[in-house]
Structure 1
Amino acid sequence: MKRTLTLFFLLTLITGFAFANGIIKGTVTDKKTAEPLIGATVHIKSKKTDFKQSISTGLDGSYTFKNVPAGEYEVEAKYISYKDEDKNITLKDGDVAIVRLQLEAKGSELKEVVVGAKAAGGSDQTARRIEQRSDQVLNAVSAKTIEISPDITVANVMQRVSGVSVERSSNGEAQYPIIRGMEKRYISTLINGVKIPSPDNKNRYVPLDIFPADIIDRLEVYKSLTPSMEADAIGGAVNLVLKDAPDDFTVNANLAAGYSQIFFDRDFVSFNHSSANSSPRIMNGNDYLATNADFSNNRFKTNTSKPVSSVFGLTIGGRTADKKLGVLGALSYQNTYRGNNSVYFGTDVDRNNNEPVVSDVESRTYNIQQQRTGVHTKADYKFDSNNKIDLYAAYLNLTQNQYRLASDTDLVLGRTGMGVGRVKINQRSSRIVQQIYNTTLKGNHRITDKFRTDWSLVYSKAEANEPDRATLDISTGVLPSGQVIAPTFDALNGQQHVWAKNSDRDKAAYLNFAYTPKILSTDVEFTFGGMYRDKDRTSIYDSYSLRPVPSTQTVAPAIESNTFQIFNTQGTSDDALNYVFNEKVGAYYGQFKFNIGKVQTIGGIRTEYTRQGWQTGASQKLAGTTGHIEYYDVLPSLAFKYKISDKQNLRASYYSGISRPGFYELVPHTGGDPDADYTEIGNPNLKRVTADNYDLRYEFFPKALDQLLVGAFYKQINNPIEFAITNNTGGATGYSLQASNFGTGTNYGFELDFTKYIHNFGIRANYTYTDSKITTSKYVRYRDAGGFLTQRPEMQTRPLQGQSKNIGNVSLLYKSAKTGLDAQIALVYTGSRINSVSPYLDNDIWQKASTQLDVSVEKKLFRHFYGYVKAANLLNTPFELELHRPYNPASTVLPVEYETPGKNVFVRRDRYEQTYLIGLRFKL
């Protein structure tokens, strides 16, 4: 009892001392905008003693001094480019004094010219203001957010935006965005508001992994359109706002090294990628007959290593003393190494009962080196307050060297037990160089107070070159249990060498006028203008086959010891993938915008004319080898923004959009992506997609960095295009992938986007629910009453390809301006979605739901130097495919590895493992 009383007395005494002193807390804000000032320094100093302390404001502009002795104090706040502000207070024991300080921005008045600080375009505050003040529904990600995120490419940044999921490449990196369940074909990509061509060898959508993240100032995702914007963005548009010249001289540099966890467990395999840049036919003419000397075995010579990734970035820019001329240059280089261990099952449909069947299993090992280069230069000149001209140029390059080893085990022929069957070995080496050039000259002119104009002249070119994709095929006899490769059984099937090159050249001009008269005491802005684009696309494709002579050779220790003979000496000039394609797009629009009270109204009509024509190298007997398409689209839009308060908006909008088919999808080719699980074929009868899009969103911006966005959307899509698996021959090997139109679809859902900061801590979260429906005809295979194999059509309703019902992000943030520490833990969830559409009922291939966890930390070391660490895919999240049908072991001769009776049919699993990056950043 005495001990208890003693402890109680001590606790009471300690508590009494703790609360004997007081607390001083409050906020520091901009006097004009009332926005919090993050990282402002607050000092308290006693007027009668030596007591003094300093602290930095948190992410919400708040500060707190605890355990402050009673007395009289001066509280002072300081912030760069702001005037100091101070207040005097008297603090008593146990009191909590709240002191709010409002700082006024500095300005220098030189007679009649006022020079003020330019807002930082790459700041989080700027991104929030753009979202709040925009004419359309959009989300923005600032350069600052990107810098401290775990991401080094724009594609990976996209996965953290509300309503966006991503499609990944074979190395596990994000490549294409899916916005609100609308896959990549429905997304357009802009640089500084201007549409750019794609280096993709198949389609018009742009692979966003070509863009290093550190050359952009801001990432904007438009989810609704106005008449002044190009209409081919049913899902939305991604606008990359490149870095602009700052008011003051600025230097940012960055150097880092990294490693992939997968290469702790195995070596990285590289190959000699020196080879002819063009095929023998292209170098020597269509009549040239290739010889064995035209083909090198370098691509089959491999080396192993433990490679280290490297990253380098440099940005330098500023403005002249009179602020009229601004110049900026940015360079980024990334050399990264990635791996992928993959298992894939070939699937079929049982002709007796429409049940899924697995026919073979393939083990794939990928080794991928990516060299990513981004260069951006910009110069702008302000003649006066009414006239400005900008010139910017960007160059992007993504070079990928990929070595893949695949072993394919037949689950039917020669199978006598687990891990046993006839095996084919495929060794493939490829080098792909993708490039984008973009140059834009832009002018802005105010002619009078009520009339202004702007114009742009654009030259863009995108190209991809794959010189000598080399494949070596080997087959074996039936192997003993547990073996994959037995050299004594290895027989050469042959080599294939493919040269593929495409280029896409755009010449475009934009002209806009704006007139702002006063009508019935209301300022009304009328905007009208147009654009014209002339696009030329060329594709060159050559495939050569080499066969072993004599045909009975086994694999030698060195490939040079084997002998081959060229089979098709003239290449494949008659392949439909040799084509020229021209597209001309002309557009004009009229738009109005006005405010009545708290309601802003913006609307109008856009008209786009499209003319397409193509000529392939295929025989004229092939349907669609030449083609011509011409069509007009009249596209209305209307949007309302109700300003509930200075911090709240309510938006409602409608727009009509289109999506044009890809060039590769139209030409009647056979072949395609070597990583595709099925042969791809063209469809000259493909139609464009049209859609009506509706949006409703509530927005609340309580503080500079805090936000709450709640929205709903609905899309009615006419003739949506999807890649579907078709059976052209009716046989077991006649399956192909073909882009086709599928009736009418709907897509609707809602989004929630939430950001909240409390002093040094923050949480950023978003969730999107999407439900889409499309009804198409499928086939059901069965054996009829007479015992004959047949099939019948049946209608099936399913989601759109690529649409996940649930996606979400959660990021936990910590920021301390005093210690210079930024840290975040970021989690991304992507729900299941259809990966490939099957022609047979209930046999679509689905991608399984996944969760990815990434971490990043940045810490100020001294003066202008910061250290940082980025770690990605910490959960080693795999890419997995499955059929939503139970596996039936009776469908194969013997039990199959990875397949579990009664569980969903396993189709594919790719494992990439974790990646790490550690670096040093310099900021001046």
Structure 2
Amino acid sequence: MTAYLNRSSTLPALAPVALACAALLSPLAALAQDTTPPASGDSAKLDTVVVQGQRSSLIRAQDIKRNAEQVVDSIVADDIGKLPDANVAEALQRISGVQISRNRGEGDRVQVRGLQQTQTLLNGRVIFTAGKERGLSFQDVPAELLAGADVYKTPTAELIEGGIGGVIDLRTRRPFDFAGFKLAGSVKASRADLADKNNAEGSVLVSNRWKLDAGEFGALLSVSTQKREYRSDTQELDNPAALADGSGTVAPLGNWLAYEFGERDRKAASASLQWRPDARSEYTLDLNHTQLKSRTDVYGFYASPFWANYSDTAGQGQLWADGTVKTDSQGRFVSGTFWGADMSTSSSVADENTRIDQFSLAGKWKVADAVVRSDISHTRSKFDRFYQEVRLGTFSDDPATYTFDLSTKLPSAYSDTAQLDNPANYWADKTLYFRIKNSGRETAWRADVDKPVDAGILTKLHGGVRINDRRAESAEINTIDDIWMYSLSAIPSVGLLPNNNLLKDAGSGNIPRQWLGVLDTNWLRNTEAVRSTFGLTEPSFDPAQTFNYRERGAALYGAGDIDTSLGSLPLTGNVGLRVVQTKTERAYTNLSSERVNLDKTDTDWLPSVNLRLELQPDLQARLGLSRVVTRPNFDQLTPSLSLNVNDQTAYQGNPELDRLRANQVDGTLEYYISKSDSIYGAAFYKEVQGFVQNTVTQVAIQGTTYSLSTPTNGSDGRIRGLEIGYQGFFNQLPGYLRGLGLQANFTYVDSAAPSSINGRTAPLEGLSKRSANIVGMYDYGDFSARLAYNWRSEYAVGSRLSYPTNDGVTALTPVTMKGYGMVDAFISYAITGKIKIALEGNNLTNTVRRSYFSDYNLPRGTYADGRRFAISLRAEL
């Protein structure tokens, strides 16, 4: 333990920075502090705001943060409902230190202080989405289902292990949360601007509690249904490749364009029964269900001059210029026309169905002066994905050329001689069929005891045990078949796309916006019809792409609360140790078609210390020291194979992969101006052992050469950063202006992790070095409004192959997403004390995201999702 605590030497250097950051916000504190009483005419109305408006939600969230044993940030139901957040990920992005990625216009993955390896809980119990990864896909859960969410950035011994980034605990409502009968509901009409579609959604909650001879009973049911159609437009320039003239100039070798039309159907239900027989016991039964069904239709176009050219010496395609190539002053490619135009169009459908069900029974008893809790839960999740595509080849008339011009805001890429509206220039080229079927389940039991003691500085002892049994299964099939059918008559509904406005808001640029494709998506979803048309049968799951994984864990912890003083200042906190033993069993089929079983056992010792020093009644400082652990994903640990036959890439797990562990130090300074207003600063440092990196090799599989990625534990890495934030209302302003308020936070995270690119270190994938939230608030009387700006700086999104020479040698080059910001808004008015009408808007700035190849400073991707607007009516009794 002594050696571990010595790692905290980083904190003294960071703590003054946190103090200085907090001091910078002190003028806001002075403005927010209400030193003069309101005029008598405004007093009653202001009281109503405090109880019912946005201030009440800030008060509840601030109470959690102020009184917690460790560093935690929270959002509560009012916060979740006051912004147009479709799912939990979008609600969490408002918290400092949290960043999210986006998928087709919605929030998706969540990172806490730079790390995606977070543990996700629902009412304190592990919740997950079935798949190759361990955690929850946050877009599965609608925001309306929740009462709140807590993001624990430092652990205590009783928190379930598994997150080196942090622990996210999602909380649903229960009947004893309300004083008596409660009925609330909402209906909403929304419009997706780019998709030009209208949708309806709604939610309802009913709860009551009764006092009977057998004690007090409570019952609650909450349901939510949400259907949202969307459209996403994409352009991606393909891998950088050196020109064949030996100049060293590198240009894109292809261009992918796509219209994506989709529909998300999200349903959720939460039911809870509570029974309190007497003042010393309580029982809770929770049932939670979420299901997300999505349907996506994609119409794509790919073109390249690269594949139309071949080198006799290396067998490697090359870019042969047809005329002059223009470069900038640094020799970087700007524009040029190339010989050859290999082109194809794609019509595909992708249907996904994710379901999560959790059942739990908990009890709490007071035994003498101790509190005993026990909890048993069972969680099941299923994920199915179906994908089918028909690809048409097309050609351009002589001379066959393709032009790139990167000087336009939307990179131009086109063939002057292509006739994309002429059926005579097409043939049926390929068909693709992918299928994934994942399932996961976990049964867990835990028991905890809290007992007050009088033993010097110790005031309470905590102890507990948790036993869990988790299983994960995955099966896949990925096929691609050549058709070479020169007549399109056998394929129903081949025609010109009805849309011709691809990336209309992304700036000027010359790209194809219409082409021929299969327009009958119902036919594409009929596997038998599609396969039989081309003389093919439906393939079964590939044994080499299946695995079964089982993980059994036993955890034991002990902790103690302390209450003492440092000098004359009150010092409280806790110290604890969690010990976890994990046994794993995995089964898979290797490339030799042999069934393999592997077993392994390991033990982790996880100490934690959390201290809170009360510098003044409203000013407190925290120090946290802890060791945390997370295990690799299931596919990383199981050497089953995953093939992408479309681009000849493959992935295979590594049974020797070790878990990730981190030692971390956290320091905060928190100043509470009032019940709802505060300023805080935080500094943190994580030393992560065994970062996972992928090693890429060229391997022949089933007669085809694939780029095979295999995960390995790389060298250690580190993450360090700062957070500052402010929230409050400007109570000194006169009259109606006192309803103005502000939430603002800024996060800086610097990371260094091992990279598979030339052995260098790099920032963590998906991590922006800087991110910020600014929320302007107005809450007075019956009127409430928020205008929120969420921003993040550029971040790495992976890597692609490049062709830096003309001799067939390939390399990996990183892809970076440029920084971007988005503006959301919410306005509501209370028609009566029980009925509110609201307007909301998402992505009001119509932000277009863009990425680039970092090594060559060439554009990579352009992504547009459009705006969304909604009007809703909320009522409660």
TM-score range, shorter chain: 0.7 to 0.9
- Given that 2:691 and 2:716 are in contact with CA atoms closer than 8 Å, whether structure 1 keeps it comes out as yes
Q: Shift of the alpha carbon at 1:252?
A: 1.1
Task: Give the aligned partner of residue 574 of structure 2.
Answer: 602
Where structure 2 has 5 or more consecutive residues not aligned to the other structure, the ranges are 1-32, 309-319, 323-336, 398-415, 494-522, 524-528, 731-737, 802-809
**CA separation in 1, counterparts of 2:129 and 2:258?**
29
Question: How far apart are the structure 2 equivalents of 1:710 and 1:753?
Answer: 6
Q: Which residue of 2 aligns with 1:309?
A: 199
Are residues 1:700 and 2:630 paired? no
Q: Give the residue type in structure 2 aligned to 1:600.
A: T
Q: Alpha carbons of 1:524 and 1:739: their partners in 2 closer, same or farther (altered >3 Å)?
A: same
Residue type of the partner of 2:855?
R
Distance 2:448 2:827 in 1: 44
1:227 aligns with 2:199: no
Alignment match of 1:472 (pick from 370, 373, 390): 390
2:5 corresponds in structure 1 to: none
**8 Å contact kept, 1:707–1:754:** yes
User: How does 1:651-666 map onto structure 2 within 5 Å?
Assistant: 651-666=622-637
User: What pairs with 1:786-805 in structure 2 (closer than 5 Å)?
Assistant: 795-805=759-769
Q: Is the 8 A contact 1:59 1:761 kept in 2?
A: no
**Counterpart in the other structure of 1:492:** 428
Equivalent-residue separation in structure 2 for 1:122 and 1:726 (angstroms):
56
The counterpart of 1:176, out of the listed 109, 113, 118, is 109
Match of 1:456 in 2: 375
Matched, 1:159 2:93: yes
**Aligned pairs for 1:109-508 within 5 A:** 123-169=57-103, 171-182=104-115, 184=116, 186-199=117-130, 201-245=131-175, 246-264=178-196, 307-321=197-211, 324-348=216-240, 350=242, 357-414=251-308, 417=337, 421-449=341-369, 451-466=370-385, 468-478=386-396, 481=417, 483-484=419-420, 486-508=422-444
Distance 2:62 2:825 in 1: 24
**2:601 and 2:190 mapped to 1: Cα distance?**
50
Deviation at 1:576, TM superposition (A): 2.7
* Superposed displacement of residue 385, structure 1: 1.9
Offset of residue 734 of structure 1: 4.3
Please state how far the C-alpha of 1:665 moved relative to its aligned partner: 2.4
Deviates more, 1:329-338 or 1:380-389: 380-389
Q: What secondary structure sits across from 2:543 in the alignment?
A: coil
CA apart distance, 1:126: 1.8
CA distance in 2, matches of 1:140, 1:757: 18
CA contact (8 A) 1:808 1:829 kept: yes
Contact 1:593 1:600 survives alignment (8 Å):
yes
Q: Distance in 1 between matches of 2:575 and 2:425?
A: 71
Structure 1 pair 389–564 and aligned structure 2 pair: CA distance change class (3 A): closer
Per-residue CA deviations over 1:368-400 (Å, capped at 9, x if unaligned) read: 100011100111111222211111110000100
SS in 1 for 2:813: coil
Q: Is the 8 A contact 2:648 2:705 kept in 1?
A: no
Q: CA deviation at 1:452?
A: 2.1
Is the partner of 1:714 in helix, strand or coil? strand
Please tell me the residue identity of whatever aligns with 2:381: A
Query: Quick one: which of 745, 752, 756 aligns to 2:717?
Result: 745
Aligned-partner residue type, residue 411 of structure 1: P
Query: 1:287: which partner in 2?
Result: none
Change over 3 Å in CA distance of 1:846–1:546 after alignment to 2: closer
2:235–2:257 Cα contact (<8 Å) kept: yes
1:647 paired residue number: 618
Task: Report the residue type matching 1:639 in the other structure.
Answer: N
Contact 1:658 1:690 survives alignment (8 Å): yes
Residue 524 (structure 2) pairs with residue 571 (structure 1)? no
Aligned residues of 1:59 and 1:762 also touching (Cα < 8 A): no
State the partner residue of 2:747. Answer: 768
Residues 270-320 of structure 1 show CA distances to partners (whole Å, capped at 9, x for unaligned) of: xxxxxxxxxxxxxxxxxxxxxxxxxxxxxxxxxxxxx31211010111222
What amino acid sits opposite 2:190 in the alignment?
G
1:710/1:236 Cα in 2 relative to 1: closer, same or farther (>3 Å)?
same
Q: Contact conserved, 2:256 with 2:302, CA < 8 A, in 1? A: yes
**Residues 140-185 of structure 1, C-alpha deviation per residue, up to 9 Å, x if partnerless?**
001011111221311111111111110112x121111111111x2x
Instruction: Check the 8 A contact 2:583/2:601 in 1, yes or no.
Output: yes
Corresponding letter in the other structure for 1:646: P
Note closer, same or farther for the CA distance 1:172–1:601 as it changes in structure 2 (3 Å cut). Answer: same
- C-alpha deviation, 1:837, in angstroms: 4.3
Query: How far off is 1:202 after superposition?
Result: 2.4
How many residue pairs are counted as aligned between the two chains?
740
SS of residue matched to 1:517: strand
What is the distance in 1 between the residues matched to 2:643 and 2:150? Answer: 32
- CA gap of 1:674–1:374, structure 2 versus 1, over 3 A, is farther
State the 1:190 CA deviation: 0.4
How far, CA to CA, are the matches of 1:58 and 1:737 in structure 2? Answer: 61
Q: TM-score, normalization: structure 2?
A: 0.79
Q: Which amino acid aligns with 1:915?
A: R
Q: Please give the alpha-carbon distance, in whole angstroms, between the structure 2 residues aligned to 1:366 and 1:192.
A: 36
Does the Cα contact within 8 Å between 1:370 and 1:398 map onto a contact in 2?
yes
Residue of structure 2 in register with 1:64 after alignment: none
For residues 809 and 562 of structure 1, do their structure 2 counterparts lie closer, same or farther at Cα, with a shift above 3 Å needed? closer
Distance of 1:922 and 1:148 partners within structure 2: 15
**1 CA distance for matches of 2:752 and 2:797?**
15
Deviations, residues 552-594 of structure 1 (Å, cap 9, x unaligned): 4336561689985677758344433322211111111111112
Which residue, 459, 470, 474 being the options, matches 1:535?
A: 470
Kept in 2: contact 1:234–1:693 (CA 8 A): no
> Are the counterparts in 2 of residues 748 and 772 from structure 1 also a CA contact under 8 Å?
yes
Q: What SS is found at the alignment partner of 1:214?
A: helix
Partner residue of 2:584? 612
CA deviation string 1:833-860 (max 9, x = no partner): 1111468888311111111111111111
- The equivalent residue for 1:304 is none
Please give the alpha-carbon distance, in whole angstroms, between the structure 2 residues aligned to 1:732 and 1:674: 9
Q: State the alpha-carbon separation in 2 of the partners of residues 677 and 618 from structure 1.
A: 19
- Aligned partners of 1:424, 1:363: CA distance in 2, in Å? 11
RMSD: 3.3
Q: Contact 2:54–2:779 at 8 Å: present in 1 too?
A: no
- 2:538 and 2:678 map into 1 onto residues whose CA distance is 63
Q: Deviations over 1:692-715 (max 9, x none)?
A: 111001111211111111000000
Is the Cα contact below 8 Å between 2:693 and 2:754 reproduced in 1? no
Contact 1:492-1:555 within 8 A present in 2 as well? no
Counterpart check, 1:754 vs 2:686: no
CA apart distance, 1:348:
4.5
Q: 1:487 to 1:120 in 2, by over 3 A?
A: closer
- Which residue of the partner structure matches residue 25 of structure 2? none
Larger radius of gyration: 1
Task: Report the Cα distance in structure 2 between the residues aligned to 1:673 and 1:126, rounded to whole angstroms.
Answer: 48
The match for 1:590 among 558, 567, 577 is 558
What displacement does 1:54 show? 7.3
Assess if the C-alpha contact under 8 Å between 1:491 and 1:555 holds in 2: no
Aligned partners of 1:225, 1:261: CA distance in 2, in Å? 43
Partner of residue 829, structure 1: 791
| TM-score normalised per structure 1 | 0.75
Using CA pairs under 8 Å that are at least 6 residues apart, name the structure with larger relative contact order, 1 or 2: 2
CA drift of 1:413 comes to 4.0
